[in-house]
Structure 1
Amino acid sequence: MRAMTYSAFGGPEVLAETRQPRPKCGPGEILVRVRRAAVNPVDWKIMAGGLKDLMEAFFPVVPGWDVAGVVEQVGIDASEFSVGDEVIAYARKDYVHGGTFAEFVTVPVRALARRPASLTWDQAAGLPLAGLTAYQVLTRLGTGPGDTVLIHGAAGGVGSLGVQIARTRGARVIGTASPANHERIRELGGEPVAYGEGVVERVRALAPDGVDVAADFVGGVLDTTLAVLREGGRHASIADGSVIDSGGQWMWVRPSGADLAELGALADAGKLTVPVARTFPLEELADAFALSQSGHVHGKVVVAV
């Protein structure tokens, strides 16, 4: 099969198009023919060696954890899906090797969900990791009706989905972002505030009694969170482990087909949109990574296989 791989840690220049064996479809697994795979910052951070002390990497590595595609083969005891089904998944494994920037990828059946009918292939590929991250943080924090939620990084890939998900749960949402992104946050149902100096005062002006929930999707904002969190409030971060010392939760997204199906239902109900910035062909994955690394992209970067 065609695949983009790297055989040493580094930047986008280590990526190359190669031919790899088609993955074997084991018990409890589904072999997916990839239609689209989305880029996430974790992909190029892993490629740079940023997680080498946390996860084993077996070279050559096919990067990528987000996928939208069609079931090609069903493994033993994986009868929940059939050949030809259109599916999506956050296809992270316990090690780094066989990812989604290839013609085929195997996915544990527990991580798969059906592709939402309302989403294009590009949008469907961009939903799993970012959507699950936002969904799992907000649900574990018990976000519900009457809560005022502060989302740090509300214009980002995870944050913009977090604004929408929190709104569907009946919460009021305040989101930090640069002024250029404030109108987008309003469109999603949030109340924007500019980050940077004076952010505490700006949040307090909107929520004088403090916020009930704070979700950090960017890192480096713990002081702000603690300054605006009401007594008894809940907070979590996906980027700052030190939140544990102040009673917060440090979280990393888990693959979950059930959670992904919930997100798909929200999308099909018209309550969740996935913005797509640009789509690249598979052989231009290095350019897709470089665009993601630039930080100047609004919406998901997707690769067509």
Structure 2
Amino acid sequence: MRAVIVSEYGGPDVLRVAEVPAPEPGDGQIRIRVAAAALNPADALIRSGALASRVPVQDYYIPGLDVAGTIDALGGGVRGFAVGDAVIGLSDWPDTQAGTHAEYVVLPATAVAAAPRHASPIEAATLPLNGLTAWQALDLLGAADGATVAITGAAGAVGGYLVELAVARGLRTVAVAGPQDEGLVRKFGADIFVPRSEDPTAAIRAAVSGGVDGLIDAAALGGSVIGAVRDGGAFVSVRGAGPGAERGIRISQIQVHSDTVRLAELAALADVGGLTLRVDRTMPFAEAAAAHDALASRGLRGRIVLVP
């Protein structure tokens, strides 16, 4: 099969397309013929060697966490799926090293769910990693119905899902994003829009007297925004360890993991318009290096999706 591989760590130029053996499914596993695979910041970490200490030494690695495609083969003991089913899945890289930027990928059945029925594979490929990150971050936050929650990076790929899922959970949502994105995040259902500024704490507290009950930091603002959380509130970092604890605020960091049940629920939400699947552009495997270059630029409002 053809796959995008990393045989040495470095910048985007180390990526190349090569013929490698197709994986075979074992017990409890599913082989997916890949139709589309989103590109995420985690893929740049794989390529650069930032995760090298967490993986065994191999001749090459295949990046890619998100996948949409059709089931090609089933391992022993798999129930509830059939060859030919349209599915989406999340590879728990680096635990699996099963990269989705290939013509085939093998994943545990517990990492796979039926694809949204009303989305193309390219659209569906943007859902697993970012959708599960948003869902699990909200679970970590633990905000009660009616609580006021701020979300930084609210126009980004994770942030958009965070706003929509927070609204669906009955939370009063404060969206922090660039001024040009106000219309977009209000479309997602945000109750309050706060333009990105040099002092996000002051901006959020000006909009919410006394501070918010919780904050999910998808923009990695860290210590510059924890002051927006009320005493005894909660703070969840999407990227990095986050700021030090203060004023009784509970600090958590999301460590996203695959979950077939939640993934199916996300697909169902997408089918009824509860989640907005956003594609920035589509690029072939052969242009993986250019795709990684584009990923490093600011201002993406959806995911770059690679196709075989």
Q: TM-score, normalised to structure 2's length? A: 0.94
The correspondence for 1:269, drawn from 267, 272, 277, is 272
Deviating more after overlay: 141-150 vs 266-275: 141-150
Q: CA RMSD in A?
A: 1.6
Supply the AA of the counterpart residue of 1:15: L
Q: Are 2:194 and 2:207, in contact at CA under 8 Å, matched by a contact in 1?
A: no
Provide structure 2 residue ranges, at least 5 long, that are not aligned to the other structure: none
- Amino acid of the structure 1 residue aligned with 2:210: D
Write out aligned runs for 1:98-137 (5 A).
98-137=98-137
Aligned counterparts of 2:213 and 2:185: Cα–Cα separation in 1 = 19
Q: Residues 77 and 244 (structure 1 numbering): CA distance in 2 closer, same or farther, change over 3 Å?
A: farther
For residue 239 of structure 2, what is the amino acid of its counterpart? Answer: A
Q: 1:55 to 1:236 in 2, by over 3 A?
A: farther
What secondary structure sits across from 2:289 in the alignment?
Answer: helix
Alignment CA distance shift 1:172-1:109 (3 Å) = same
Distance in structure 2 (CA, Å) of the matches to 1:86 and 1:28: 18
How far is 1:163 from its partner?
A: 0.6
Give the structure 1 partner of residue 215 of structure 2: 214
CA offset digits 1:147-198 (Å, max 9, x no partner)? 1111111111111111111011111111211112122111111132122323
Where does 1:34-45 land on structure 2 (aligned, <5 Å)?
34-45=34-45
1:195 aligned partner: 196
**Equivalent residue letter for 1:213:** G
AA partner of residue 286 (structure 1): A
State the identity %. Answer: 37
DSSP 3-state at the match of 2:52:
coil
The alignment status of 1:282 with 2:298, answered yes or no, reads: no
Task: Name the residue aligned to 2:303.
Answer: 300
Q: Distance in 1 between matches of 2:118 and 2:234?
A: 33
Q: 2: CA distance between counterparts of 1:73 and 1:57?
A: 28
Listed one character per residue, the Cα deviations across residues 78-136 of structure 1 (whole Å, up to 9, x for unaligned) are: 12211011100111245464301111000101010100112221110000101110110
Q: Does residue 74 of the first structure (1) align with residue 74 of the second (2)?
A: yes
1:264 positional shift: 1.0
Aligned AA (1:270): G
Does the residue aligned with 2:60 lie in a helix, a strand or coil? strand
1:26–1:244 distance in 2 versus 1, CA, 3 Å: farther
Structure 1: unaligned runs, 5 residues or longer: none
Distance 2:107 2:217 in 1: 29
SS at match of 2:185: helix
- 1:88 counterpart SS class: strand
Check the 8 A contact 1:244/1:250 in 2, yes or no.
no
What does the per-residue CA deviation read over 1:245-279, in whole Å, with 9 as the maximum and x for residues that have no partner?
44301221111111111111211221111111100
Q: Which moved more, 1:235-244 or 1:74-83?
A: 235-244
Letter aligned with residue 289 of structure 1: H
Please, which moves more after superposition, 97-106 or 213-222?
A: 213-222
Task: Note the C-alpha offset of 1:244.
Answer: 6.0
Tell me, in whole angstroms, the C-alpha distance in 1 between the residues paired with 2:6 and 2:124.
26
What SS does the corresponding residue of 1:3 show, helix, strand or coil?
A: strand
Q: Give the TM-score, by structure 1 length.
A: 0.95
| 1:1-305 correspondence runs (5 A) | 1-56=1-56, 58-95=58-95, 97-190=97-190, 191-225=192-226, 227-243=227-243, 245-246=245-246, 247-305=250-308
Cα distance in 2, alignment partners of residues 122 and 144 from structure 1: 34
